[in-house]
Amino acid sequence: MKRTEFNIEISAENVLESLGVTRQSELYEEMQEELSELLPGAYEKIKPVALLEFGNLKEHSVMRNGRRMTEVLYGLCSIGHEMSSWSTQLFAEGDYVKGMLVDAIADDYLFQMDRKLEGTVIELCKNKKKGIAGRIEAPKDIPMSIQKEAFLAVHAEKEGISIKESYMYDPVKTLCLIYLLDEKETRFSPGHDCAHCENLACKKRQGKQVSVTVCTENEERIIQAKQSETLLSALWQSEIFLPAICAGRGTCGKCKVRVEVGAEEPSEEERKYFSQEELDAGWRLACCMRVTKDTRIILKTEEEEMYVVADGQSDADSKGTENGRYGIAVDIGTTTIAMQLIELETRQIIDTYTAINRQRTFGADVISRIDASNHGKREVLRQTIQKSLAEGIRELIKQVSVPVEQVIIAANTTMVHLLMGYSCETLGVYPFTPVNIQTIETTLKELLRTEEISDCPVVVLPGISTYVGGDIISGLFALEFDKRKEISVLIDLGTNGEMAIGNQERILVTSTAAGPAFEGGNIVCGTGSIPGAICHVAMDADLHVETETIGGKPPVGICGTGVIESTCELLRTERIDETGRLDEEYFKEGFPLTEDEKIRIYQKDVREIQLAKSAIRAGMETLIRKYQVSCEDIDQMYIAGGFGYKLDIEKAVQIGLLPEECKEKITQSETVPCKARKRVWRQMMRKQDGKVWSDIQRKLNWHPAKNFRSFIWNICCFRKNKSRKNIENLKIKQKTFRIYKNGFEKML
């Protein structure tokens, strides 16, 4: 197997650290400046290639676990000749600083290649029904002559790599990888173990490494971690993604793991989420626990499986045929990814695929992900969404025997930036400038950087502003706002509350920072819209609770609609007062929704819903006022998104999320993105897409909701008469309001 795409972002911190230059060093700024000048040239000169091939140890004997190992997977990683030549030239010219920096850059890239290759290695071994007992390296574990066997096995000469009589490779920056295959299919230990390496001169040993054994019901994998880094960070680096919607701040309690060996003293944050019995049993939060020694952890496989949303539905009696022409419509949401396989001639939906956006690991909202991208996670975030898209596309094309002809993608502006690998540095600071909001035309191969899927054209729909993206413009497109005489409203209910009002004359759009509560985020027992999530709640006068879960599965948590309905029912039964305060009986321990009382609605959850619904409603009221109309003038109000489609409108009105005056005008639709892509294809087939986009964009205006603050406080309470005086009497900590208030203002 040959792999050339690695998409590695060179770590300036690692490069400088390998040379002994830390942030405290007097030379740090000077060296950082020199390094920034060298990096563009380095990216041009690095030519990565990895070669993998199965084989057998012929003349050598390696013992592991009391038995001789013979089956191996040979690998070579190389970055080509140019970096070594460049470094040699700089030294010859007497520019020793730049020469050392270039050499360190090459080392960092090569080591990152090694780590990035681990996922491919594991997949190859799984397909062969083999595990990985460990990795051996010459000359410590085996004579140097093994490097020639590896060279011959992978046919490295075809890639311009040669080997000397001393068994050293040319280019110099080439690694030999030898993985011992294990009959135990579920054990994987593919990484180099710095902690037990005898190469004491290696620069990488400056930062001590420890081993982390990650166990699930299906497999056991050993990864390497920097001593004292968080367990969550170590798992991220090895592409093991736990739910961590707070972006690792220790406030959501979702990244739960059980530590069998190596548990540290629990933090204060962990004591909030676990009983003493659970702490004694080794339960910890991955974001709070620092790895200081070799560690063994248990991950529940059901936790991972929970974060896959149930499949959607296709059009009735629709089936793929060999003679059909197919395209894939993609909607990348902050929380979920939805895809549909569509027959282009008939525009019938053949199949649907939905999944949780794994970027949720880096935070539930766009601000958290912008921050993560700006702090060295840009490439990881990109690879995460690329992998999710590739998985979904592979799943859909199983339904047809021919490749798809086109993929069309809609997403908010931040998701587009993360998908394309754009810098997010200007998205989170005033004046909130996006790198690109125009239509993007590319290919599937370029976008996903994979050879495993047949190539085809890709169109990423244009956005409107930093916080109103292609998902809203696709909704406007689908609902034909550009052709309507009547005034209509479109609201995409989700983490980012995007909305629009208008008709064929003009269209006004805005967005509000609703936060992740509608998606089950920042809710103590919250979860995504997954099988087992409580989605409907009803209570009688005696507080007897009836719940309904997605898929009829045993309850595992509460999704957004469940939280809305719980809040409404508690308000209706007067267990929540008009300020949002729970009765004293439930104030500390929460109100139980299940018989075992494990799933509860807490005071914190009610506050999260108050803040989220206030943001949406305030944005809506601001937009309507700016358009100089009233609710009575609105002909139709469309609620889009998975959450909006399942929302109980009556209960949403009762808690003040939606205006009562528009209750009879509300239409819910989860098919808006699909309809948009259908219309796009129709226009493209008629060669009219450019005109349509220009017509819509000409009518669009972005409104920065300047009087947003005047609404937010007046809508927070659960009452029709929402005076400022009543708001000031809310029993909510001022600190909490201040944090969210600043967050809203930051978004604006």
- 362-377: per-residue pLDDT in tens? 877 788 888 888 877 8
Q: Which carries the bigger pLDDT value, residue 574 or residue 196?
A: 574
Cβ atoms of 214 and 232 closer than 8 Å = no
Q: Which carries the bigger pLDDT value, residue 301 or residue 644?
A: 644
User: What was the pLDDT predicted at 733?
Assistant: 34
Cβ atoms of 48 and 78 closer than 8 Å = yes
- Give the separation between CA 388 and CA 719, rounded to whole angstroms: 43
Listed range (88-92, 376-380, 454-458) with the worst mean pLDDT? 376-380
Q: Which carries the bigger pLDDT value, residue 730 or residue 670?
A: 670
User: What was the pLDDT predicted at 48?
Assistant: 92
Phi, psi of 623 (to 5 degrees): -65, -45
- Return mean pLDDT, the chain: 79
- Give the separation between CA 531 and CA 540, rounded to whole angstroms: 25
* Confidence at 556, pLDDT banded by 50, 70, 90: confident
Q: Which carries the bigger pLDDT value, residue 494 or residue 81?
A: 81
The closest of 244, 240, 263, 260 to 252, measured between CA atoms, is 244
Cβ atoms of 407 and 327 closer than 8 Å = yes
Sole residue written with tokens 């902050």: 334
User: What was the pLDDT predicted at 45?
Assistant: 93
* Confidence at 82, pLDDT banded by 50, 70, 90: very high
- Residues facing residue 545 across a β-bridge: 539
User: What was the pLDDT predicted at 686?
Assistant: 43
Q: Is the pLDDT of residue 685 over 50?
A: no
Q: Is the pLDDT of residue 307 over 50?
A: no
CB 450: neighbour CB atoms within 10 A?
17
Q: Is the pLDDT of residue 231 over 70?
A: yes
- Give the separation between CA 178 and CA 153, rounded to whole angstroms: 11
Q: What is the dihedral of CA 605, 609, 615, 616, to 10 degrees?
A: 150
- Residues facing residue 488 across a β-bridge: 502, 636
- Give the separation between CA 55 and CA 71, rounded to whole angstroms: 6
Listed range (36-40, 248-252, 372-376) with the worst mean pLDDT? 248-252
Q: Is the pLDDT of residue 350 over 70?
A: yes
Q: Kindly give the interhelix angle for 82-92 and 28-45, rounded to the nearest 10 degrees.
A: 130
Q: Is the pLDDT of residue 538 over 60?
A: yes
- Residues facing residue 50 across a β-bridge: 3, 77
Listed range (16-30, 181-195, 262-276, 674-688) with the worst mean pLDDT? 674-688
User: What was the pLDDT predicted at 245?
Assistant: 65
What are the Cα distances from residue 369, in Å, to 362, 415, 592, 615? 6, 9, 33, 20
Sole residue written with tokens 């009836």: 546
Give Cα 694 to chain centroid, integer Å: 32
* Confidence at 666, pLDDT banded by 50, 70, 90: confident
* Neighbouring residues of 281: CB distance < 8 A, sequence distance ≥ 6: 258
Using the CB atoms, write b or e for 632-655: b if 16+ within 10 Å: eebeebbbbbbbbebbebebbbbb
Phi, psi of 155 (to 5 degrees): 55, 50
* Mean pLDDT computed over 61-86: 84
> What's the chain's length in residues?
748
User: What was the pLDDT predicted at 225?
Assistant: 81
User: What was the pLDDT predicted at 715?
Assistant: 63
Q: Which SS3 state, helix, strand or coil, does residue 322 take?
A: coil
**Statement: the pTM of the whole predicted model exceeds 0.85:** no
* Mean pLDDT computed over 643-671: 81
Token output for 232: 């969550």
Across 496-587, the runs of DSSP E, i.e. the strands, are: 496-502, 507-513, 533-539, 545-549, 557-558
Q: Is the pLDDT of residue 712 over 60?
A: no
Q: What percent of the chain has pLDDT over 70?
A: 81
Listed range (149-153, 249-253, 525-529) with the worst mean pLDDT? 249-253
User: What was the pLDDT predicted at 389?
Assistant: 92
What is the chain's alpha carbon radius of gyration, rounded to the nearest angstrom?
28
- Give the separation between CA 444 and CA 458, rounded to whole angstroms: 6
User: What was the pLDDT predicted at 730?
Assistant: 37
Q: Which SS3 state, helix, strand or coil, does residue 492 take?
A: strand
The closest of 361, 457, 452, 348 to 409, measured between CA atoms, is 457
* Mean pLDDT computed over 501-515: 84
User: What was the pLDDT predicted at 719?
Assistant: 59
- Give the separation between CA 112 and CA 119, rounded to whole angstroms: 12
Per-residue pLDDT tens over the stretch 572-622: 998 988 888 888 888 888 999 988 888 899 998 888 888 888 888 888 888
Q: Is 426 exposed, middle or buried (0-12, 13-18, 19+ CB in 10 A)?
A: middle
* CA dihedral sign, ordered 76, 80, 84, 85: positive
User: What was the pLDDT predicted at 47?
Assistant: 92
- Give the separation between CA 718 and CA 580, rounded to whole angstroms: 7
Cβ atoms of 465 and 472 closer than 8 Å = no
* Confidence at 745, pLDDT banded by 50, 70, 90: very low
User: What was the pLDDT predicted at 688?
Assistant: 41
* Confidence at 481, pLDDT banded by 50, 70, 90: confident
Phi, psi of 725 (to 5 degrees): -60, -40
Q: Which SS3 state, helix, strand or coil, does residue 443 take?
A: strand
Q: Is the pLDDT of residue 78 over 90?
A: yes
DSSP 445-475: HHHH--SSS---EEEEPP-SBTTB-HHHHHH
User: What was the pLDDT predicted at 192?
Assistant: 58
- Residues facing residue 548 across a β-bridge: 536
CB 401: neighbour CB atoms within 10 A?
11
Cβ atoms of 576 and 718 closer than 8 Å = yes
What are the Cα distances from residue 258, in Å, to 236, 285, 291? 17, 9, 13
Phi, psi of 285 (to 5 degrees): -95, 125
